[in-house]
Amino acid sequence: MLLRLRNWRGNWGSACPSSSGDFLLIHAINVYEYIVNKRMEEARRLLSEEELSVKEAAYFVGYRSQSHFAQAFKRHFGSNPSGRKEPEA
């Protein structure tokens, strides 16, 4: 599921914290960091389990630019997304 700030309330309904301060108290990270973490975890799963290309995974988790996605992925995991795939035998 694509997580974006603009559809945050729609995804959480009435269980959504009333402010970013409440969210920070509950989860110990801010809303933006939470969304980035979820997007990166989903991207990693797509690259390894679903065997999507980097471009496909980037698009699926909401990045329009493959290079911005690759930078965010490297910042988050410490490795390039293209290095996540296992080489084919």
Residue 25 maps to a domain: no
What is the per-residue pLDDT for 45? 94
56 within some domain: yes
Flag whether 22 is in a domain: no
Q: Which domain holds residue 69?
A: 39-83
- The verdict on residue 51 lying in a domain is yes
Helix 31-48 vs helix 66-77: angle between axes, to the nearest 10 degrees?
100
Provide the domain count of the chain.
1
* Within a domain: 15: no
**Residue 84 pLDDT exceeds 60:** no
In a domain, 73, yes or no: yes
Residue 46: CATH number of its domain: 1.10.10.60
**pLDDT band per the 50, 70, 90 thresholds, residue 89:** very low
Listed residue (73, 64, 65, 7) closest to 36, CA to CA: 73
Asked, for residue 53, whether it belongs to a domain, the answer is yes
Instruction: Enter the pTM of the model.
Output: 0.66
More confident residue, 66 or 33: 66
Model confidence pLDDT, tens digit, residues 11-54: 555 455 555 566 555 666 777 888 888 999 999 999 999 889 99
CB 72 within 8 A of CB 35: no
Domain membership of residue 14 (yes or no) is no
CA distance 40 to 43: 5
Token digits of residue 61: 């988790």
Q: Which residues of 41-63 are buried (b: 16+ CB within 10 A; e: fewer)?
A: ebbbebbeeeebebeebbbebeb
